Structure 1
Amino acid sequence: MGLVDLTRRSLVGALGALAAGPRVLFASVAAHARDHLLEAEWLATAGVEGGFAPVVVAPDFAATPVGSGAQRLHWVEPSPDGRTAIAVARRPGTCAVLFDRRAGAVLATFEPGEGRVFSGHGRFIDGGARFLAVEIARADGRGVVTRRVVEAGFAVEAEWASAGIGPHDMLPAAGALVVANGGIEPHTPEALGAEVAGASIALLDPVSGAVRSVAELSEDLASLSLRHLTSGGDGFTVAAAQDLLADGVARPLLYAVEGEGLRAFDAPDEAWRGLRTYVGSVALDASGAYVAAASPRGNRVALWRRDGRYIGSLPLVDGCGLAPTREAGQFLATSGLGETVLLATDGEGVGVVARRSGGPRYDNHAVLVG
């Protein structure tokens, strides 16, 4: 296995484990010739032998890692070009990996701005010509959205404040750029003893980065960190939360983003408690009618109708990755134990359609390729 030899123009970036850690290039499996192109239905990231890697998931759930690096990769964003994708390391990561999802080859890596780390998420815009990345200043947690030009080696052409601290996820929806400013991240040293996360959902102008609005939760929900987002073709957007407090209070962990406000989804108290304060991934189905939320701490995946009415849940140990399929009412779910499960709902109940074990240790997210 060799290292990809890339020019600066094609974005040779270092895979620094942390700012003070050693710099390690991202190893590629491309040195082993492939006699066929990979058939990618979904993309994910996973822990693989010796490190972490993007993963190409076939229609039959077979998983093929692409390369290997020392940093934990989080979200994968497929490019509209139909061939490449970018996997982004999560906080405190300092690497984003560009790879060819069909050839199974790492092409390049790039890094956040000086003194900043990636939060694990990014999105292609302008038909794949530009890439938006969420970055966090190490010194004070201030959030920054950078806009990078793909053909210019992912050079930053603009950057804007995220209008909050600790941003995690971000996506374009309904003519705005929606940013989930998580505030204090639960289950971190900074969260010890904290009761107010300082989270918000900011709507930014997608061209200038100007702040259009900032929505915050009410005082009784101030312990929630708003972290993950999903959006449908009509702009309907849902934010998922994690709770700083484990006090037994059944706080809603899903919210529809409606204008400048947030509407809580409904569920019985025992359903919220069953998620054990933590939603690690959220997804809309292909029709936009159903929402799924996964909790690796609660070992389950729960489903709702779009209007916020609760449908039910299924167990999945350490399950977190979620993505739609091409069928209405269906979701792919992945787990840290290497399971891949196909779930389906008719709006009244939820069941398992198919299951495969023996895969890699999947991370928090999966995405359907377009």
Structure 2
Amino acid sequence: MAGGLSGRRAFLGGLLSAGLTPALTWADAGSPAFLSAAVTSDGRYVLCGIDAALRVRFEVPLPARGHAAAAHPSRPEAVAFARRPGRFALVLDCVSGAQKAMLQTPEGRHFYGHGTFSADGSLLYTTENDYEAGRGRVGLWDVTRGYIRLGEWDSGGIGPHDIERLPGTDTLIVANGGIDTHPDSGRAKLNIPTMRPNLAYLDQGRIIEIAELPPELHRNSIRHLAVAPDGAVAFGMQWQGDGPVAALAGLHRRGSEPRLVHAPAPEMRALAGYVGSIAISRDGATIAVTSPRGNTLQCHDARSLTFLEAYELTDVCGVVKAGTGFLATSGVGQLVALANRAPVRTAQTALRWDNHLISV
């Protein structure tokens, strides 16, 4: 844990010894604005909290490589997910660094690296694979009772990856990537010719809407999501077909067809068929996508869905809305803040940042 928190921890320890139990908040963990998994210079896996000034506020150990995390909406607690296909997710106290619980999938399931809390923080939803049935699931975990498993819902498709909530609701959006996998085959993709990725909207386990891509893009695996304040859902994709692809990002609003982001051919080639993360700005005006394979971050107009700018960033992947723009992370240790579609601040760390950056 970061040294700047030692005084605060000593203060809290004094209150506890006096018999007082104050409710902890994210301020007690150094007021992080973002979470990201990383690898340290000596090869340790950690989950980090990063504040708005791009300072690393804490490092909590992980047993293996992390992927994404979910931040509890009110208390300094995070769930760190293993890189898929993973069978564990750790519940971490971000003040003390202690492991509070380990979530393990039931027999025949594995995690896909993402999850989200309900609006009140009482439930955790996780994307999972029922690999014998070849069907996606959403796992339900009761936070108030120590993260016991309550059950599961159908995800509405195959290969669910990212999961988010519509603002101010508990309506879930699931990115069903469409790719069937099985642990016995490692990360092999078993159904590329018959893929059918989609966005599925769930309300209390009931599938209330499914949005699919045009048939000619059925090999465009929908992987990652970002939700605008007005409920528009930006989605990033990874192309499993041959030759070039017309689009790797899009925008969807409930009740309408998905709309695709268009970019000039050189910019599309620069993405190398792979969007690693996606974000949408606080005002909903700009979409950012990253490609670690292409070493590029691109910004697009969320209204016209046209290309705006591109920035060369080595091994960039994590991106999230921050201030009036975005914050991006890279596998070579960089933290890059962008405003008005231009880099305004950069911090270099000794950490190799992993795939995703999550808002607290």
TM (normalized to structure 1)?
0.82
Tell me whether 1:253 sits opposite 2:255 in the alignment: no
Q: Which amino acid aligns with 2:175?
A: A
Separation (CA, whole Å) in 2 of partners of 1:153 and 1:106: 12
Aligned residues of 1:170 and 1:179 also touching (Cα < 8 A)? yes
Query: Which of the residues 191, 200, 206 maps onto 2:189?
Result: 191
Equivalents in 1 of 2:134, 2:334: separation in Å? 34
The aligned counterpart of 1:226 is 222
Q: How many Å separate the matches in 2 of 1:316 and 1:339?
A: 9
Q: Which whole-Å CA distance do the structure 2 matches of 1:50 and 1:138 have between them?
A: 31
CA distance in 1, matches of 2:238, 2:125: 24
Aligned-partner SS, 1:80:
coil
For residue 38 of structure 1, the aligned residue among 30, 37, 41 is 30
User: How much has 1:184 moved relative to structure 2?
Assistant: 1.7
For the residue of structure 1 that corresponds to 2:267, the secondary structure is helix
Q: Distance in 1 between matches of 2:194 and 2:334?
A: 35
Distance 1:108 1:153 in 2: 7
Task: Look up the match of 2:141.
Answer: 148
Asked if 1:264 corresponds to 2:260, the answer is yes
For 1:145-184, list aligned pairs within 5 A: 145-173=138-166, 176-184=171-179
Give a deviation string over 1:254-280, Cα, whole Å, max 9, x none.
111122521111211221111000001
SS in 1 for 2:319: strand
Tell me the CA shift for residue 104 of structure 1. Answer: 3.8
Tell me the residue number matched to 1:23. none
Correspondence for 2:235 among 218, 232, 239: 239
8 Å contact kept, 1:191–1:244? no
- The separation in 2 between residues aligned to 1:337 and 1:310, in whole angstroms, is 26
Instruction: Decide whether aligned partners of structure 1 residues 139 and 50 sit closer, same or farther in structure 2, where only a CA change above 3 A counts.
Output: farther
1:174-229 CA deviation, whole Å, 9 max, x = no partner? 6532111101279x853389345321111222x2x112222221121111000101
Following the alignment from structure 1 to structure 2, what is the Cα–Cα distance between the partners of residues 109 and 120? 14
Cα distance in 1, alignment partners of residues 207 and 190 from structure 2: 31
Aligned-partner Cα distance in 1 for 2:245–2:74: 43
Q: Please show how residues 1-12 of structure 1 align to structure 2 within 5 Å.
A: none
Which residue in the other structure is 2:352 paired with? 361
List structure 1 runs of 4+ shifted beyond 4 angstroms. none
What is the 5 A alignment of 1:7-86?
34-36=6-8, 37-48=29-40, 49-63=42-56, 64-70=58-64, 72-86=65-79
- Provide structure 1 residue ranges, at least 5 long, that are not aligned to the other structure: 1-28
Structure with greater helix percent: 2
Q: Which residue among 283, 296, 312 is the counterpart of 2:309? A: 312
Identity of aligned residues (%): 33
Letter in structure 1 aligned against 2:45: F
How far apart are 1:284 and its partner, in Å?
Answer: 1.4
Q: Could you tell me which of 296, 310, 331 is aligned with 2:292?
A: 296
Cα deviation for residue 141 of structure 1 reads 3.4
Q: In 1, are the aligned partners of 2:38 and 2:46 still within 8 Å (CA)?
A: yes
TM-score, normalised by the number of residues in structure 2: 0.85
**Does the 8 A contact of 2:70 with 2:116 survive in 1?**
yes
Shift of residue 246, structure 1, vs aligned partner? 4.7
Aligned-residue CA RMSD in angstroms?
2.3
Aligned to 1:18: none
Gaps (5+ residues) in structure 2?
9-28
Deviation per residue, 1:298-321 (Å, 9 max, x gap):
101111122112211101111001
The number of residues matched between the two structures is 328
Shift of residue 119, structure 1, vs aligned partner:
0.5
Distance 1:130 1:113, change over 3 A: same
- Say if 1:115 and 1:125 are closer, same or farther in 2 by CA, change over 3 A: same
SS at match of 1:165: coil
* Cα separation, 1, equivalents of 2:132 and 2:45: 27
Q: Deviations over 1:307-366 (max 9, x none)?
A: 1122111011110011111x22x1110001111111122xxxx32101111331111111
